[in-house]
Amino acid sequence: MKYIILLLLFCNIANAQIKKAFKFSTFYVAANGGTSLSDDDVYSVDGSTLVYDTVFTPYDYSLTMGIRKIKRFNYEGTSPFKDGTETSFSDAANVGLSPFEFLFEVDYKRQEGIEYFDQQHFIRYVESKWLAKAEYIKDGFADIEYFESTQRLRLNGKKKLSFNLGAVQRLAEPYGYDPLEEWSFNNGRIHYTCLAIEEGYSVDVYESEYIDPQGNVVATNPQVWNEVVMPSVLKDYVEKKRNELNNQWQYSLVVGFDFYHYKKNFWLHTWGNVMPYHYDDGGQFSYHNFNDGEQWYDYSGGLIFGYKLNKNLGIFLEGKYNKYWNKEWYDFKGGINYIIF
């Protein structure tokens, strides 16, 4: 009987904590769509005959599902519904307005005829003297995917401007690895035909036939082979070789800052992170090997600025920037508003 009472008490406490954690959070499911690239007519000449074809790009769409608990900053507007297309640069900041915040979102979409399955998840806990965050990002359009966790001490945590120092652990594919390097000459040219043959293609020089691994003739002259078939072969080979490798851990030191100031006619929110040192575990696919054994700088940051010069005129600038393993991805927007009355 005693154990049953303890179990019920534990379940009651756990249930109360779960309700507290998800209080004021929003769960959303949304579908969005629109016209993509217009149809494109492609012309070519076969002997003396004009040949043309039309490239059709199907419509764009996105199917989004997520749950989030992130308190809005004063400069952020409100919306009666979340439709899954909203982007808030402040989500990438190191700190928020509430101690505990989270976001879990998946987005299956088609953009310019290419399908992506993007994800963004993070949990962030911030106190005046420390912060911790775990995040997973998969952005197919930017071709980036990684898991990151960080633990940091904060200085001046209750001030507008605060600094932080700590450690970052990242798990990602071995960025920097080039599967085509072993097939390259010293002058940068590629043994592309040898690579294709190893991948199952065959070449009949006398009949001028180029055959894929399934036995289909994919080209009947060197021009089509070089300009049409080989780019696809190389792309498939690179993707296959990268998928064969395990993800790699990267341990780094990080230094960051956050600044937030808000008034009705002026606001500035900015943050930044620099990773100046990365532990070299000596692994074959460590990024140090692709960087000549040297250290490098990874960094990220964001800026949200707004200024209402008077009742009519205002300007704004917002953006975020990341550079990890020499891969860059960023978003920005800016403009002028003039209200006529």
Task: Give the tens place of pLDDT for each residue, 308-321.
Answer: 999 999 999 999 99
Region of 157 on the Ramachandran plot (φ > 0 left; ψ -120 to 50 alpha; else beta): alpha
User: Which pLDDT value is given to residue 178?
Assistant: 84
Q: What is the largest CA-CA distance in the chain?
A: 94
**79 against 154, higher pLDDT:** 154
Task: State what percent of residues in the chain have pLDDT above 90.
Answer: 46
Residue 52 token pair:
């043309």
Burial of 104 (0-12, 13-18, 19+ CB in 10 A): middle
Q: Give residue 38's pLDDT band: very low, low, confident or very high (50, 70, 90).
A: confident
pLDDT, tens digit, for every residue of 157-203? 778 999 999 999 999 999 888 888 877 766 566 677 888 888 888 88
Hey, how many other C-beta atoms are within 10 angstroms of the C-beta on 319? 15
User: What H or E segment, with its residue span, contains residue 64?
Assistant: strand 60-69
Region 71-79 average pLDDT: 85
CA gap 319, 331 in Å, rounded: 5
CA gap 49, 26 in Å, rounded: 60
User: Which pLDDT value is given to residue 124?
Assistant: 96
User: Which pLDDT value is given to residue 282?
Assistant: 87
Q: Give residue 87's pLDDT band: very low, low, confident or very high (50, 70, 90).
A: confident
Region 59-88 average pLDDT: 84
pLDDT, tens digit, for every residue of 1-12? 554 555 555 555
Q: Give residue 18's pLDDT band: very low, low, confident or very high (50, 70, 90).
A: low
User: What H or E segment, with its residue span, contains residue 93?
Assistant: none
